[in-house]
Each structure stands twice: as structure tokens, then as C-alpha cells.
A and B are shown apart, each in its own frame.
Chain A
Amino acid sequence: MSTPLHEPPPPVRRIVVDWAPRVVTPLPSGNGHSPSMAPSPDAPTVAFPARTTKERMRVENLTVRYDRKEAVRCVTLPVRQGEVLALIGPSGCGKTTLLRTLNRLTELTTSASWDGQILIDGEDVHALEVTQLRRRVTMVFQQPNPFPMSIFDNVAYGLREQGSKRPGRAELEPQVADALRRAGLLDEVADELGKSALRLSGGQQQRLCIARALAVKPEVLLLDEPCSALDPRSTATIEDLVVRLRDEVAVVIVTHNLQQAFRVADRVGFMFLGELVEYGEASQVFGNPRAKRTRDYVAGAFG
């Protein structure tokens, strides 16, 4: 058996980007990773406006399983530079799993497997060495996790190749400074780059983690509830940063906090029980959700 859905299974909205969204009814049987595509009659048709933003990643029919349990089902989604994509949904809905699959971090879990297709700049991620992919799609975690080394070394960590010729400090200095500036941390730590990163405050640590993730010049930046361990002031700083970053890197942020999603996101994907129920512009998802469950969730009815 696959996902333990409610009985009878509720209709879910399956989004095919740039097409009209359709509500589909997942088959109640065990071969559940290919739900029926037949549109339900009451599905409203909405066309997405074409954006001028650049698509960096595309997820096609992604299904992620832990053993036989499906955590993400048939999700199709674009990740674009120039806009912030927020994934929202109740706990356990698969949004973090989806995020972690984008740079193949789920593969570290032995029970996890995925099928479907993930493209980065039109190229299948399987064509890339996994370390190469992860340098192009970097990630910031829920808990600030600087490495036990100096601030400088933390940012330089990703830049230093493991090979025989390691770039020297002078060579790395401009790149490190640039990453710290982009993460809005340079002014605070410019004089103490040699200090241990673990001495920084929580908010500074998280911005250091962002700087570390930006230093390798990724195309996509994944943020997994980056503010959930931070106080409101640090949260505001990070949110400003996320909004400013969207033009240079495609940003995907997973958040529990609906206000935060509303503040930072241009596009919002609402996930429920592993499915992408709704995807659209933030103002539309929050102001005029098409699916009933989105409406309920946004109104705070469950989750």
C-alpha cells in the first residue's frame, strides 16, 4: 500500500505549470504513483501569466518514497531565478523532502528513493556528479550550523577543492568578502574573520550559513525553514536578504510561517499529503485560493 490517504481520498489539485491547473482524484489502489489525470468537472481553469524570469530548475512528476511510503507524489514545479518560491503546508506534507530532493540530499537516507525527473538548466541531474549538483544547488538548514572553524574558513569551505592545488587565502579573500557582503554580514564581521564561527549569535550564524551557501555561486539556493530558530529581529534581517537575493539566484524557501511566506514569496506552492495542491502567485494563493484545502489552511483551519 502507498500513502495512507483519507477514505475516501479527497480530490487534489495537481499543477502542471503553465497549463491550466486541474483537480485530479488519486487512485485509491496501490499503484498510486500515477494518479488519474482526468480533470474533475468543478475545477476552475486558470491560466498562468508568462513570466520573464529565467527558469533554472524544473521538477517533473517527482515522487519520493521512504521505503514504500510516498512522501512526495507526482509534483511538477518550476524553480525560477528572479522570484522567491515558498513551499507551505502542514507538518509532514513533504515540502522539506521535496526541497532536499532538489539537490539529491534525500539520497543520504538509505530508505529513500525517487523517480520522475529533475532538470537543472535543462539538464537531467543524473547527468551530473552529485557533488557538482550540490555546488550548483546549495542549501541552508533549519538550525544554524556553522562549521567548527573560523568565519573565513566557513565561507571558504565550499571554495576549496579537495584536489592537490588548494587556493591560497589571498586568492579566496575577495570571494569570501563578496559572499559575506551578499549575505549582509560583512560589516559586522569584517574585523574578526579569524574568530570562531560558533561565537556568533544565532542570526549571524544563519547569515554566515547563507554566505557559505552563496560563496560557491550557486544557481539555486534552498532554504529549509531558515528562521525557525531565530528571534523576530534576525528573522526580519534574513527575510530582507532573501528578497534581495532573488535576482541573482533562484530561491526556494520552505516555511511553516504563512506570514513569512506572504512577506518574501513571489510564488507559493501549497503542499498537502505529499501533493502539490496549489501553486501560484503569492497574492493569489493567499488572497484567492482555488482549492478548498488551500483556503482552509491559509485561513488557519488546520495544520
Chain B
Amino acid sequence: MSSLRMPLGAARPGRRSAGAPSSWSRSDRIGVAACWAAGILLCLICAAILIYMMFRGLQNLTPSLLFSHPQASLNQSQSGGFLDPLIGTFVLTTMGIVIALPIGIGVAVWLVEYGRPPWLARMVESGVEVVAGTPSIVLAIFGLLLFTQNIFGFLSFTAEGNAVFGRSFFTAGAMMSLIALPLVVGGTREALLAIPHHVREASYAMGKTKAATIRRVLLPGARSGIATGATLGMGRIAGDTAIVTILLGASLQLSPQGGVPILRTLRGTGGTLTSYVYNNSPAGEGQAPQKAYAAAFVLLLIVILLNFAVDMLGGRRRNAGWTK
């Protein structure tokens, strides 16, 4: 009965414009209120984190922290800033996404445009899901096992007695790419699926091959989706700690290996903002919570900026499109 009256109540002019009409049953009204409260609660939690981190961060952050090398010292006036971890975060993120992008795009293109035989496509899909669901600590342990094999010695450095160290920006970046990979695949896939079939046919109808269609029409059309996936993936890489601790060494400073200028940094160990925060917080060695707050604030800023970029890209995608 109440459901019959509802549209009448809603349509009557001058009645309340929003919210639950009085004809709704009690359980419906409680449900709506609960959903509403859940949304508000999430906003409050988010705001609490942001405001607290901003307060603590701005309290402790000084420009010199961003531009000075960290030093191992118990005296906080001498332990320096977090330039090295900051560079480490950028290097590792770049490394991971550079590996993840071509593989992820390739996987997504194959899944959407070819995907035959179907059982193989299903297997690839579940493979991506498994990678997405694997805890990064598991990836890190597996990576360590893999990259300490002698064959991968060139990626890190080989100690005396032929033991491969296995920890470097290369090895950590390779494992980090697995964290970004599902997001790149997902973003590319969604974007390709959003391109209507008749756009592909229009290209075939011009006498173009499938390869040319993918290269010249579909990938440009999926650009913003790919960028969204990549940006999300970069955020995940920047925020991961386990792989940094195990596969990058989580050292305070960058410690290059060998003599070739850029290669020596990539083959060497280092740390990122996440490992820096961890090591300086009371959970780690607990020496300098102030610096941990400052570094955490910078990390949060980086991730928020990446998410902001995602929103911008997503907004552009919604505006330019085809009719299905």
C-alpha cells in the first residue's frame, strides 16, 4: 500500500523536496539514514587524517628537510632531511610504471581485441586478479628469491663468494610493476571497452587492418583510460612499504653500485618515503617522529596530487565520447 502512495506523495507540489517522504516505511527510512551516515562518517575520517597530517606535517616540515641528505645520527639536529628517500620514491615509481605500462597495455589489448581462445582469456583475467590480490609482502619475498639467483646478478650486485644481493631499484621496480599492473590493465581495458564497436568497424571499413586500427584508433582513444590506470598504479607504488623494505634495502641513503652514472643508482639500494616514515616512527626505531610526520605529509601530498590528476583525466574522458 505504501509503495502505491509513494509516487503521489513525491509528486505533490510543495512537499519536502528531498529526503524520504513520510509514506516510507520505518525500515526504509532507517536504511536511508544509515547510508547517509556512512557517507558522512567516511568524509569525517578522511578529513581527520588530512587535517591531522597537515597540522603535524606543517609543524615539522622545513624546506631544508626536503633538500638535505639523511644522516644516521641520534641527534636530531644532525640527522638531516629526507632528500634521498624522496628521490627514491620518484625513481622507484618511475621504474615500476615504466615496466608496468607496456605489459599492462599489451595484456589489455589482447584481452579486449583478441581474447581467443576464451579459456586462455579467462586464465589471463584470473592471473591479473591474482596479482592484484597478492599482498605486496608476498611479492617481495618471491622477488627476493627470484633475484638472488646468479642469473640476475647484473640487476643488483654480487658480493664476494658469488652471493647475489638481490636488492636494488631494478629488482624492487620489477616487483612494484606487478602492483601497478592490474590497475594499468583495468584502466586500459575499461577504456577499450568504452569505445563502441562501430568505431572499430569504421576503421575496418576504410580498408584498415586490425593492427592499424589498434595502433591508430583504439590506443589513442584509450589514452585517458591508460593514463588513469597508470596514475593510480603510481600512487600504489609510492605508497607501498613491504617491497621497499625487502627488495630495496630500505637504507637511509641511496647507495649506488658500480661506475656507470645512472645505472649505478638503479643497481644500488636505497629507501623511499614510506620506509623513511616507518624507520623514524615509533613503530620502527622510533628516533624521530617529527621527521616521520613531515615525510608522511609529503608522501600524502604526492598521492593526493596523483589522485587529483586521475580525477582530471576522468573528467576529460566523460566529455569526449561516442554514442554506443
Contacts and interface: CB of A to CB of B under 8 A. Distances in A.
Interface in A11-46: none
B240 to A, nearest CB: 33
A130 B207 CA distance: 7
Interface residues of B, number: 24
Contacts of B11: none
B320 interface: yes
Interface string B239-257: 0000000000000000000
B202 interface: yes
A157 to B, nearest CB: 6
Contacts of A148: 217, 220-221, 223, 320
A157 B216 CA distance: 9
A209 B216 CA distance: 16
B47 interface: no
Nearest to B206: A158
Nearest to B199: A145
A134 B205 contact: yes
Nearest to B324: A143
A258 to B, nearest CB: 24
B202 A145 contact: yes
B203 A147 contact: yes
B221 A105 contact: no
A237 interface: no
Q: Which 4 A-B pairs have the closest CB atoms?
A: A135-B207, A134-B207, A139-B205, A131-B207
A171 B324 CA distance: 35
A210 to B, nearest CB: 12
A216 interface: yes
Interface in B268-324: 320-324
Interface string A250-294: 000000000000000000000000000000000000000000000
B215 to A, nearest CB: 9
A190 interface: no
A144 to B, nearest CB: 8
A141 interface: yes
Contacts of A144: 322-323
Interface in B196-218: 196, 198-199, 201-209, 211-212, 216-217
A204 interface: no
A131 B202 contact: no
B322 to A, nearest CB: 6
Interface residues of A, number: 30
Q: Is the interface of B mostly helix, strand, loop or mixed?
A: helix
A1 interface: no
Nearest to B215: A162
Contact of B202 (A133, A139, A149, A229): A139
A139 B216 CA distance: 19
13 contacts: A108-B201, A131-B207, A134-B204, A134-B205, A135-B207, A143-B196, A145-B196, A149-B216, A162-B209, A162-B212, A198-B322, A209-B202, A213-B206
Interface string A146-162: 01110000000110001
Contact of B321 (A132, A135, A138, A198): A198
Nearest to A148: B221
B205 A143 contact: no
Contacts of A105: 201, 204-205
B197 to A, nearest CB: 9
Contact of B209 (A103, A131, A138, A141): A131
A135 B204 CA distance: 9
A141 B198 contact: yes
A132 B321 CA distance: 29
B202 A216 contact: no
Interface in B214-235: 216-217, 220-221, 223
Contacts of A58: none
Nearest to A141: B198
Nearest to B210: A108
A261 B11 CA distance: 44
